[in-house]
Structure 1
Amino acid sequence: MMSSRRSEPSLSKLSLITGKINRDTMTLLIIILFAVVLRVIGISWRPISNDEASHIYFGLEVLKGKYAYDPEYHGPLEHYMIALTILILKGWIMKDPFVLVWAVRLSYTVFSLIMIVVVYVFFRDYLGKLGSIIAALLFSISPEFLYYSRFAHEDIISVSFAVMTFIFAYRFYMDRQMKYLYASFLTFALLFATKENWLLYLGIWMSYVIVIVLIEELLIKEKKDTLFSRVWRFISETFIRSDVTEDGTIIYRLKRDTLKHLLIAFVLSFLVAFAMYSYFVYPEKFVEALLGPFHWVKRHHAPRIIGPLYYWFDRIWLYELFLLPGIILAIKKHRDYVSEMLLWWFVISFVGYSYMQEKLPRLMMHITAPAILLVSKYLGGVFSDFGKVLRKELSSKDSLRISLVSCLFIILLIISAYQSVLLNYINYDDVREPLIYARLTREWQDVYRTIEKIYSEKGSVRVLIVWEEGDYGLWPILFWLYYVEKDFREINVSYVKMYESGVLNTPEVEKYDIIICYSSKDQGKIHGFKLMGRFIVLKWIFHEKWTTETTLEGFIQDFSHYLNPRFYFLREYDSSKIETLEYWAAVYLKER
């Protein structure tokens, strides 16, 4: 299953003292710098979305001492993090509210960066030297990981802690060092405090061990170095010691030191999770957190976003095309237990999230994370052999095969990098991208800046919001006006909501500085106001049929959309064949 050979990068403390940086340290620093630059560029271009507004709202509630856990809005870790970010940068935010946008999003990027470091440093003996570099680079530029590490939502935190928990548990198995025991317990506690899918991760990992042990013990006659024997050997070597008495009797005893570390790790992790969920005020919330996953089981039966079983296949095809052949070739070449567990992790996640009817695009990270690790190991070997081909160290027969495979994956990786650039820096607010949903368009940033300008000139801003029915999509705008501008920054911004558009034809509107009309009708001209523009509040493009049913005919029709080169590379599509839903609002400014 696993070799005892250590292959961690030599990131020595001495290099920090002497000022000398070895090659491994330099490689890691370059990768981290690369990842940071990718995450910082344009991080505040997008206006705050529905979900981000909700999370920042709860961060503000933490500062007011009013926060209480609600599984609908996930674990408390991110809300505490947002509260801390706001507390540290409050002075800047009071002067410029846009600091809030990039500061909060930047705090989320930290977790993806830590995950990259952990993958590079602590998973190298499995991935190999080149494989660890490839994995770190893939997590840096992967379309979904890059996009949602620049997005204030808990999934990047959750998947980062899941990957770290797995790697630290692996390292504890390999080295028997207590620091990895503590690290695995702590990262799992933080995963538990982040999102309710902690139970799914635990179930995936444990189910692999149980299934393989049962298969090997019950179905395989020739039992040699099985998973059960390895697990038992690990338990006996780590937690049990044997003593021989004077008469030659062997007595087995538990290792008290190891059990002490295990108990301390468990207690510390429990206290971290309990403190976060209870907020030192609501101890019953910890019990509610244990039952939190079942809230999302109910949500499966009353979903907000639905789709057929091939929903995630379409997105992997579009954004991470190299994973599809990579997984097949990787498991064909590597038959060790770790590779099999990563494959199991990917398959169960893919099947599970395909079945679940709460298909939020950001969940794709939970599916692709183990696949990226598995394929990185394979690519490390392929590109290492390709280097030998270039140095003419292999036979011509092997050279042709290796060269073809290497060139194929280089092309596929370039396509994935292109998709990442398209998603993150060009179409970052465009729902033509299947990974984007429920987002205000970039023009709303100009509306917010206009509000700031009016306030700086007049010392107050009055906003009238008119809509006919419902307010789906307006929450981020209302959040910005009330909770950011009025409540937090304490500037004189007031808004009035009215459901009758007839008010626009009365003198009543003259006292407002800005009018936002959220209506299916074009209001035309409003006396005393000029039209700033009509901006998208919410837009859906249904790349797949809005249905829970999966049919071959539906798959062929929907997948043909992804096979179209104009959509694949330019996101151009035939609007007559793709269903869209659009909500927009007209913004009017008072004439001077």
Structure 2
Amino acid sequence: MEKAAFFSDKIKKIFTFERVFLLIFLVAIILRFWHLDLKLFHHDEAIHSWFSFTLLTKGTWVYDPSYHGPFLYYVTAGMFSLFGASDLVARLLPALFGTMLIPLVYCIHRLGYITKTQTLVVALFLAISPDMVYFSRFLRHDIFMLFFTMLLLVALLYYFERGQLRYVIIAALAAGGALCCKEEMPFILLIFISFFGFAIWRKRISLPPQWKNDLIIGVLIIIGVMVALYSAFGMHPETLIGQNFQINTTGWYQAVDHWVSMSDEQRLGGPFYFYIPLYLLYEVPIFLLAIVGTLQFIATDASLILAGKRLKNWLTTKRFALSTADLAATSLNQLKTAKSGSEKSDLFFQLCIYWMILTMAFYGYVGEKVPWLIIHQLLPMCFVAVYKLNWQKVAFALIGCLFLALMTWHVAFIPADINEPIVQVQNSEDLRTVMGIIDNSSNVVLASQDYWPLPWYYRGDLWDKFTFYGQKEDIATLTAEHPDTIILHDTESYDSIPGYSKQTYKLDYWFSYYDNENRLPDYYFHRDGTMGSINLDLFTLQH
């Protein structure tokens, strides 16, 4: 027994809270930065990198709501200027911003909103979540916006605790940065404003005496950040004031008009429960624990209300030596004393549940449904999942992490085309063969309306070898210069071209529900089956 106790004490001394947290942080770093260019760019990544490269080389960028806000383009162009333009460099900042979510969890713990165990479990969920890892290795605006959202929350919590201007400045920079990422950020701000506004009104949160001055400073910082970036540092003031001062040509009007029309059109639509199957595919333990946590919170809140009513009835129907008023005051004081240790925690988890439910409802309602939007719902869900954490829930979470780790390895570190909804429209690994053929060609004819990411991979002078047609042309036109390689879309192609051999390759691919709907249980466990794809026919000159 003494040896067992000694061994147990030794383990506790070695695996302290801080050391375990740092270990989780190290895991997050490895999962986000290791072999960061393992997979070819996604279609959107290639476009974002191309715009960033153009911004760097030509100094041109104008806001277009189709491609979201300016933050990504400026910081990626900055990385290209420092380290050169490549897939790896383009993904460095998404990986960094995704990694820095973990230390922000520790900041929330330091304020006393979550326990050590809750902190470790949330950090572990964020570190190895398939969606969090995958979209931290992915050049899109969402991971930047998610980091700024988390930073904003932490800064607000610190401000409510300490009332210092520095936290207002951090919160304002975070809000301004997030608003320069994506057009749905105002909705996230509305969630925070409504929750904290109500909490202040109910006196659950107190503001420092100088809060009005701090608010003015914060708003001015947000406006300054947005004005600088959206106007391209003054190069395009029409984004802010419109052409000829017409409101319907300003950037904010274009953003609302564009994304409302996209939502109504449902170009990439789906049912309101679109994201639920994705949770069941990739985030099962987090999703189930969040459901349990939400039900526990509702049950606890309901039981407190019921207990309060019973206490009131009891006090009004019984006689005591102590007056009813004194007894009620004494009972309330005891209740406040018992609750003081958990009041901050309850407030925080109430926020997370409110945040989670509203984001799930919002993204379920919006007509444009794509897999990367899940991370905005997943962040508060990770916190809700650790509400009232006991040893049974910890055990379930740790076992569930094996599933998360397996799925993360599958979606992020398998160098092959995978039949998974998370990839949306991913460029195929077949393109490596295609680009090998192009590299060995001195002149290439490209006659297809589908050709991205080739402009990115053959940027600059490398594009000089291409003769580009945006559609199918007759054979005489295609072969006029005797190109080494001719590239056509397979649905707008020829059975053969004299003097050329033909081979078909996938350009990009996606999970096809319609090809797998009759075998969903089998698909869930095997993750195989037919995929949708856009294909290219390559005709190579026979020597």
User: TM-score scaled by structure 1?
Assistant: 0.72
Alignment pair present for 1:142 and 2:142: no
1:522, CA displacement in angstroms?
Answer: 6.7
CA change 1:534–1:177 in 2 (3 A) is: same
**How well do the aligned residues superpose, as a CA RMSD in angstroms?**
3.0
The one of 73, 82, 90 equivalent to 2:76 is 82
| Amino acid aligned to 1:229 | R
The residue aligned with 1:370 is: 380
Pairing of 1:410-449 with structure 2 (within 5 A): 410-426=398-414, 429-430=417-418, 432-449=419-436
Deviates more, 1:172-181 or 1:102-111: 172-181
1:226-260 CA-to-partner distances (Å, cap 9, x unmatched) read 763325x613xx02xxxxxxxxxxxxxxx4xx555
Query: What SS is found at the alignment partner of 2:137?
Result: coil
1:517, CA displacement in angstroms?
Answer: 2.2
The residue aligned with 2:491 is: 520
1:104, CA displacement in angstroms?
Answer: 0.1
Alignment pair present for 1:338 and 2:324: no
Alignment pair present for 1:324 and 2:324: no
The residue aligned with 1:463 is: 444
1:273, CA displacement in angstroms?
Answer: 1.9
CA change 1:358–1:438 in 2 (3 A) is: same
The residue aligned with 1:8 is: none
Check conservation: 1:158, 1:194, Cα contact below 8 A: yes
Alignment pair present for 1:273 and 2:245: no
CA change 1:356–1:259 in 2 (3 A) is: closer
CA change 1:337–1:493 in 2 (3 A) is: same
Alignment pair present for 1:539 and 2:509: yes
Pairing of 1:111-130 with structure 2 (within 5 A): 111-124=97-110, 125-130=112-117
The residue aligned with 1:494 is: 466
The residue aligned with 2:201 is: 228
| Amino acid aligned to 2:400 | L
The residue aligned with 1:409 is: 397
The residue aligned with 2:325 is: none
1:50, CA displacement in angstroms?
Answer: 2.2
Query: What SS is found at the alignment partner of 1:282?
Result: coil
CA change 1:584–1:407 in 2 (3 A) is: same
2-side partners of 1:521 and 1:57: how far apart?
27
Check conservation: 1:516, 1:585, Cα contact below 8 A: yes
Check conservation: 1:143, 1:423, Cα contact below 8 A: yes
CA change 1:521–1:194 in 2 (3 A) is: closer
Alignment pair present for 1:46 and 2:39: yes
1-side partners of 2:416 and 2:178: how far apart?
28
CA change 1:505–1:86 in 2 (3 A) is: closer
CA change 1:22–1:303 in 2 (3 A) is: same
CA change 1:492–1:427 in 2 (3 A) is: closer
Check conservation: 1:128, 1:377, Cα contact below 8 A: no
Check conservation: 2:53, 2:77, Cα contact below 8 A: yes
1:18-45 CA-to-partner distances (Å, cap 9, x unmatched) read xxx9956544443332122112233223
The residue aligned with 2:538 is: 587
CA change 1:110–1:433 in 2 (3 A) is: same
1:403-438 CA-to-partner distances (Å, cap 9, x unmatched) read xx44443333322222222111227643x2011112
Check conservation: 2:107, 2:154, Cα contact below 8 A: no
1-side partners of 2:493 and 2:155: how far apart?
58
Query: What SS is found at the alignment partner of 1:127?
Result: coil
1:543-568 CA-to-partner distances (Å, cap 9, x unmatched) read 279xxxxxxxxxxx96x855x1x322
Query: What SS is found at the alignment partner of 1:307?
Result: coil
Pairing of 1:150-161 with structure 2 (within 5 A): 150-161=137-148
Deviates more, 1:158-167 or 1:70-79: 158-167
CA change 1:409–1:101 in 2 (3 A) is: same
Query: What SS is found at the alignment partner of 1:174?
Result: helix
The residue aligned with 1:551 is: none
CA change 1:276–1:446 in 2 (3 A) is: same
The residue aligned with 1:32 is: 25
| Amino acid aligned to 1:417 | A
1:122, CA displacement in angstroms?
Answer: 3.4
Alignment pair present for 1:70 and 2:61: no
CA change 1:536–1:413 in 2 (3 A) is: same
1:290, CA displacement in angstroms?
Answer: 3.9
| Amino acid aligned to 1:281 | M
The residue aligned with 1:184 is: 171
1-side partners of 2:402 and 2:451: how far apart?
38
| Amino acid aligned to 1:567 | Y
The residue aligned with 2:312 is: none
Check conservation: 2:287, 2:381, Cα contact below 8 A: no
1:332, CA displacement in angstroms?
Answer: 4.3
1:52, CA displacement in angstroms?
Answer: 1.4
| Amino acid aligned to 1:234 | S
The residue aligned with 1:508 is: 480
1-side partners of 2:417 and 2:75: how far apart?
25
Check conservation: 2:108, 2:114, Cα contact below 8 A: no
CA change 1:78–1:67 in 2 (3 A) is: same
CA change 1:350–1:507 in 2 (3 A) is: closer
1:415-464 CA-to-partner distances (Å, cap 9, x unmatched) read 2222222111227643x20111122201212333444455xxxxxx3111
The residue aligned with 1:392 is: none
Check conservation: 1:49, 1:438, Cα contact below 8 A: yes
The residue aligned with 1:475 is: 452
CA change 1:509–1:503 in 2 (3 A) is: farther
Check conservation: 2:501, 2:540, Cα contact below 8 A: yes
1:487-545 CA-to-partner distances (Å, cap 9, x unmatched) read xxx674222327445417975252x22221212267455444445x4221233434279
| Amino acid aligned to 2:431 | W
CA change 1:294–1:368 in 2 (3 A) is: farther
Deviates more, 1:111-120 or 1:192-201: 111-120
User: TM-score scaled by structure 2?
Assistant: 0.79
The one of 184, 200, 218 equivalent to 1:197 is 184
The residue aligned with 1:206 is: 193
Query: What SS is found at the alignment partner of 1:196?
Result: coil
| Amino acid aligned to 2:380 | P
2-side partners of 1:528 and 1:194: how far apart?
50
Q: Give the gaps of 5 or more residues in structure 2.
A: 1-13, 242-249, 302-345
Check conservation: 2:478, 2:486, Cα contact below 8 A: no
Check conservation: 2:101, 2:147, Cα contact below 8 A: yes
Deviates more, 1:139-148 or 1:500-509: 500-509
Count of aligned positions: 471
Deviates more, 1:33-42 or 1:137-146: 33-42
Alignment pair present for 1:110 and 2:96: yes
Check conservation: 2:230, 2:239, Cα contact below 8 A: yes
Check conservation: 2:155, 2:167, Cα contact below 8 A: yes
Alignment pair present for 1:353 and 2:316: no
1:324, CA displacement in angstroms?
Answer: 3.1
Check conservation: 1:120, 1:135, Cα contact below 8 A: no
Identity of aligned residues (%): 22
| Amino acid aligned to 1:462 | N
1-side partners of 2:386 and 2:415: how far apart?
28
1:306, CA displacement in angstroms?
Answer: 0.9
The one of 525, 528, 539 equivalent to 1:569 is 525
2-side partners of 1:156 and 1:129: how far apart?
26
Q: Give the gaps of 5 or more residues in structure 1.
A: 1-20, 94-99, 214-225, 240-254, 387-401, 455-460, 546-556
The one of 45, 58, 76 equivalent to 2:51 is 58
The residue aligned with 2:322 is: none
| Amino acid aligned to 1:184 | A
